[in-house]
A and B are shown apart, each in its own frame.
Chain A
Amino acid sequence: MIAVDSLALGARTPRSVDEPADAAAVAALLKTCSAAGEAAVIVGGGTLQGIGNAPARYDRAIVMRRLDRIATYDPRDLTIGIEAGMTIAAVSARLAEERQFIPFDVPRPHEATVGGTLAAGWSGPRRAAYGALRDLVIGSTAALADGSLATAGGMVVKNVTGYDMSKLYVGSLGTLGAIVRANFKTLPRAAMCRLAIAPLSPDVEERAIAALATVTVEPSAALVVRGFAGNTPTVHDEDVRLIVLFEGSAATVDRATRELRSQLGAAGIAQTRLADGAHAERAFQATIDATIEPLADRSITYRARGIPTAAWARMDSVYAHVERLDLGADAIADLRTGDVYVRVSGATHATLEARLADVDATVRRVLSRATLLAGEPSLRAQLDAWGPPPATIATMRTLKNRFDPAGTLAPGRYVGGI
């Protein structure tokens, strides 16, 4: 039995915890909640609970971990159907047996679940190369607030049969329905995977990033990491480094490495550290883990989407602005997707709390469309995780009302108070 205290969101703790055994039980619970006017939060691994606000009401936690099976998997179809509560690590391990993968790129994969990762709308660095998770989902079943189970899509890779409902559930943070099963396209694993790490000093930074663009093999991921000491790979414990992931045949990865080293050398970077295979995967995973890693109780982390060519400049700008507030910052610029992550920290919880309103205003001014990703709950509780809602918010509210008229599903947790 899970203790209710461990499932607190902000200042709220659920009155009861349910662990349904299957999809029908999830749907039945939601129906009960709707009838009783209770608010329910769907709980996966809890790793991305920093996304979104604390719920306005929170009566029940519905923990999905018992829905942990692979529903169907024929590797020759390159598709898989998975129950929502299965962990990402377990799915990835099964896929690896068949030399396949899904680019989840999610922090803490041993805890994170398929349903939670999808509901959070998580989308990592390799989406530029392979598509976002939303693009790899080919079907889903969701338990809705009225107690029905609604399926969309299927087990085929091309499908225009009815609306693509899966797109709505992915990224909805459990406010439209509870994803109970998702079907994915899988991808064959590349023969080789290599991570290149190069230290960046202010005098070479710009040339190095320009040099990367001249490499004729597109990397699977390319990140500039600033700070995150101890969390992410470095060459000589330098503050800023370029982290590039190549995946492909041995010949292609070797050519990519040669070109990258030669270009970075010309830009004035003498040494590039390389990691292959499992070493590369671990170092890359550590970088992804860092995106939500808090600094004790004295940090909050934001993420903002944007265009790739602006990512590095936006990261530098937000870093400089946070320094001016006499606070610490660690940051990541994703050069291929345009995402920028920034973790703002104070010397103590109190220091950060004292400047919190300034921090929020500054980050959102410099990084438009920034949303909260992680950090100390009592600090996050003082802010709106989502910032100003988009212009389409009226349509979103109508959707919410149509799917969940009683406000059963995580009320208040989503964009614009949805």
Chain B
Amino acid sequence: MVRVARTMSIPVARTELGTRLVEALGADVALTQPEDLTVYAFDAYSEDRLPTAAVVPRDAREVGIAVRIARECGEPVVPRGAGTGLCGGAVPRNGGLVVSFARMNRLLELDARNKRARVQPGLINLELSKAIAAHGVFYAPDPASQKISTIGGNVGTNAGGPHCLSYGTTTNHILGIAYVDDAGEVHHTSLDDPGYDLTGVLVGSEGTLGIVTEVDVRLMTLPEAVRVGLAAFGDVESASEAVSAIIGAGIVPTALEIMDKLIVDAVEAHYHAGFPLGSGAVLLVEIAGPADDMDESEAVLARIARDHGALSWRTARNAAERDALWASRKGAAGAIGRIAPNYYIQDACVPRTKLPQVMHEIDRIAREHRLPVGNVFHAGDGNLHPLLIFDRRVPREVQAVVDAGTEILRTCIALGGTISGEHGIGYEKRESLSLVFSADDLAAMGRVRDVFDPGRTFNPDKIFPSGAVCGEVKRAHVA
């Protein structure tokens, strides 16, 4: 459900919230002027809304003070990482306070031998891995946005990335969390503590349960050897068949990514990384592990690719070539910006064996709605990112994108999948949540929300269908 109307509100005069925040934290931390607030009005979703105030705190204490003041003023609190979210999770839908972590961006502690680090939520994902690489360790979750997105934001959406295939998503790499509750108090969770797994439920809660102020992350040992292979196929379906065959053969590469013709051509025009132009689809495979296994694994992968109609197979000759391939894969959405007036990227997930079928369906849906579609996705995980191209100045196309997007989600659900693999529900997909879950399922989640945030201070209007805002979900809501 894409919405394209710009809904920027008219700025209001300084509010009680703004005045009190400036008094408590100073004008350096608390921002109240419309020109300062504009950057906190939106994320990568298509709607925006100016917050009443924003804070850029230096530590958890200041976060706590800001939360307490906002609650006393009856204003909602929306946490913000880098604003790369695609579902409106960081958009202050009802105004209120935006908390930016731009100043809380440090690596606080590294224990490479025990493979853990303590970081502030504003630390940029890629900066973490860069800072610790010399110690032989890395932080595995690598969303395509990793050059700008933050660990805190990644925790909020349980971010994935190409390398989830063998390493798992963000939740598998978080050992503990410090968060500020709705009273402004700081709490620490740890997987080592006895008791309920509060850490696990905080990850992926999209800022609706508390404000994360510190994260203990699990690190992994850098693999001894890495190899990236590239296979060209005639069409997406045969590339998808190859992916199913690779998984079915008992091989779990570290990444298995597919880009279709539209994406490959756009990416190649931009990055010149050596993708085979004109092929119907490209499969990017990475294997990592002990050096002894590389040749044999590559031989198996190349054979499976050829058996499924690969037109070519080659491997990156060195680390530079490998990095170039990954940089262009992760920049794919950006490259599309060169050739399309507007695009809408969908996120959904299906069981891996359903890939060929769902690709066929997406193609059909896009053709029926007369929209060009590109596909760039985490094939090994069954995580799809169809990218619908449209022109927002053409009303027919806007409506077609909305309809096609919904149809794609329904198709994925019908195939046993779900409506978000890694981007989250945010504001965009909240009404679709009841396509996946029953009223009872949602009521259980609502109870967790009641416990952490009974007053709905944190990121209201996100995740849950509008009928569920005040606690228990109305039974009438069930599809």
Instruction: Spell out A's residues near B (CB within 8 Å).
Output: 74-79, 99-100, 121, 131, 134-135, 142, 144, 148-152, 154-165, 167-168, 170-172, 176, 187-189, 216-218, 248-249, 251-252, 255, 305-309, 338, 369, 371, 386-387, 389-393, 395-396, 398-399, 402-403, 414-416
Contacts and interface: CB of A to CB of B under 8 A. Distances in A.
A167 B197 contact: yes
Please give me the 3 A-B residue pairs with the lowest Cβ-Cβ distance, nearest first: A167-B200, A188-B250, A150-B444
Contact of A396 (B195, B419, B436, B449): B195
Contact of A162 (B164, B441, B451): B441
Interface of B: 111, 113-116, 157-158, 160, 164, 168-169, 171-172, 187-201, 203-206, 221, 224, 244, 247-248, 250-252, 289-290, 292-293, 296, 349-353, 378, 381-383, 416-425, 433, 436-438, 440-445, 447-452, 463
A252 B293 contact: yes
B194 A164 contact: no
A167 B201 contact: yes
A305 B195 CA distance: 13
12 contacts: A154-B417, A156-B418, A159-B418, A160-B204, A160-B421, A161-B436, A164-B158, A164-B204, A167-B197, A189-B250, A305-B191, A392-B193
Which label, helix, strand, loop or mixed, suits the secondary structure of the A interface?
loop
B153 to A, nearest CB: 12
Contact of B451 (A79, A135, A248, A402): A402
A366 to B, nearest CB: 16
B436 A162 contact: yes
B416 to A, nearest CB: 6
A351 to B, nearest CB: 28
B438 A151 contact: yes
A142 B247 CA distance: 30
B194 A188 contact: no
Contacts of B201: 163-165, 167-168
A158 B193 contact: no
A158 B423 contact: no
Contacts of B381: 156-158
A154 B352 contact: no
Nearest to A307: B114
Nearest to A121: B197
A79 B192 CA distance: 27
A58 B463 CA distance: 38
Contact of A150 (B197, B203, B378, B441): B441
Given A158-B378, A392-B193, A398 B451 contact: yes
Given A131-B172, A135-B168, A402-B450, A416 B195 contact: yes
Nearest to B463: A162
A395 B187 contact: yes
Contacts of A134: 197, 200
A343 B475 CA distance: 51
Contacts of A416: 195
Given A165-B448, A396-B198, A76 B247 contact: yes
A361 to B, nearest CB: 17
Given A164-B158, A167-B199, A392-B189, 7 more contacts: A76-B244, A76-B247, A78-B252, A160-B204, A160-B424, A386-B195, A395-B198
Contacts of B250: 99-100, 188-189
Contacts of B419: 161
B196 A172 contact: yes
B421 A156 contact: yes
A161 B206 CA distance: 10
Contacts of A152: 437, 441, 444-445
A387 B193 CA distance: 11
Nearest to A336: B115
Contacts of A79: 351
B187 A391 contact: yes
Contacts of A255: 290, 292
Contacts of B205: 163
Contact of A160 (B157, B248, B378): B157
Contacts of B244: 76
B113 A309 contact: yes
A417 B395 CA distance: 60
Nearest to B209: A163
Contacts of A150: 440-441, 443-444
A399 B197 CA distance: 11
A159 B420 contact: yes
A158 B200 contact: no
Contacts of A392: 187-189, 193, 195, 198
A392 B187 CA distance: 7
Nearest to A75: B248
A404 B438 CA distance: 20
A158 B441 contact: no
Contacts of B416: 154-156
A218 B137 CA distance: 13
Contacts of B194: 369, 371, 386-387, 389-390, 415
A135 B292 CA distance: 28
A282 B111 CA distance: 34
B349 A156 contact: yes
Contacts of B114: 307-309, 338
B445 A74 contact: no
Contacts of A390: 190, 193-195
Nearest to A158: B421
Given A188-B250, A305-B192, A161 B353 contact: no
Given A159-B421, A161-B433, A392-B188, A168 B292 contact: no
Which one of B115, B194, B351 has the greatest number of beta carbons of chain A within 10 Å?
A: B194
Given A150-B443, A156-B418, A402-B450, A164 B171 contact: yes
A77 B353 contact: yes
Contact of A163 (B352, B423, B445): B445
A165 B421 contact: no
Contacts of A121: 197
B437 A162 contact: yes
Contact of B436 (A154, A187, A371): A154
Contacts of A154: 349, 416-418, 436
Contact of A307 (B111, B199, B224): B111
Contacts of A170: 197, 200
Which one of B115, B116, B349, B383 has the greatest number of beta carbons of chain A within 10 Å?
A: B349
A93 to B, nearest CB: 17
B171 A249 contact: no
Contacts of A309: 113-114
A402 B443 CA distance: 11
B215 to A, nearest CB: 16
A164 B170 CA distance: 12
B290 A249 contact: yes
A243 to B, nearest CB: 20
Given A159-B418, A162-B445, A309-B114, A395 B224 contact: no
